[in-house]
Copies of this chain bind each other. A is one copy, B any other.
Amino acid sequence: MVTIYDIAAKANVSAMTVSRVINNTGRISEKTKAKVKKVMEEMNYVPNQMARSLVLQQTRILFLLITDITNPFYTTLSRGAEDAATKNGYRLLFGNSDENLEKEAGYMNTILTTRVDGVLIAPTGDPSLPHLEQLRLHNIPFVLLDREVPGIECDIVLGDSKEGARQLVDQLASQGHQHIALVNGSSSVSSARMRRLGYEEALKLNGLPLHEERVFETSFGPRSDLTELDAWISSLDPMPSAIVAGNNVLAVEVIGLLRKRGLRIPDDISIVCFDDFGPYSEIDPFITVVAQQAYQFGYMGMQMLIDRIQNREDAGPWKKIVLPAELVVRSSVKRLLD
């Protein structure tokens, strides 16, 4: 490995001079600067970030941990975070926890040992608390995305899950639906809790009864095994006229299962869900959704994180951004009235 000493020797200067040329600090004669630069080229020198970070105590690297790299919500969010990071001269590394606490723990380890400057994280759920406490303990700035975690105060970007769920149910009710089921994420995830709350409130406001057995809670992430989900659908009696899905992944899986039963959407059963389908909304935009501003989640979250990093001490109070969700009416809901 070529070090500053190697190039210093070849350029007949001290290592410090090389270091100064690299970082453009101090005053150096144009002549030696040119010479050093030439030697660096010749020897294909690449600074060692490890060594540099060790002395500087900072990496200029930020980390984004998402829970499902397969979900357009998160990939779009990632693009937003990436853009904001790049704009501010930071590098961004990605991790994918796969809605799995153990994998998240693995990434926490990388984050901690690798001493990144800050973390943007969509936690897998409430059990992520210890992970966040670790970050706090080690003084690593972080911003939460999409999900609150009870027990920790911090900067956060949220969607208006309750209101969104309410809109979804209202939309169904307005078309005359009375039997509305809910497939949702785990109750250990704040957004799932809020969506359920919105669902329940909206039922009440529309004068519809709440049936516990019409609510099914599972993971927001894709399942390798759909039998449980399918069993729940089988258990529904009577079959609801509409289903609300807690996110796009669940919607897609449920639609697949329904079709396997020969049910057509929306003729036989209606469905609506949280989150849009990214580019794929384009090709067959038939599902009515509450679309979140995924890109903004990432972009604004990253902004907050960088603010926090750059103003370390005079930080100011924790900030909370709540992004509105927008109802996009398409054609997955059957009109039952008239």
Contact = CB atoms under 8 A, between A and B. Distances in A.
A108 to B, nearest CB: 10
Contact of A115 (B50, B75, B113, B222): B50
Contacts of A94: 69, 93-96
A114 to B, nearest CB: 5
A95 B96 contact: no
A1 B249 CA distance: 41
A299 to B, nearest CB: 15
Contacts of A82: 96, 98
B284 A48 contact: no
B69 A78 contact: yes
Interface in A249-300: 249, 251-253, 255-256, 277-280, 282-284, 286-287
A69 B66 CA distance: 12
A120 to B, nearest CB: 14
A70 interface: yes
Interface of A: 1, 44, 46-54, 57, 61, 69-70, 72, 75-76, 78-79, 82, 86, 91, 93-96, 98, 103, 106-107, 109-110, 112-115, 134, 137-138, 222, 249, 251-253, 255-256, 277-280, 282-284, 286-287
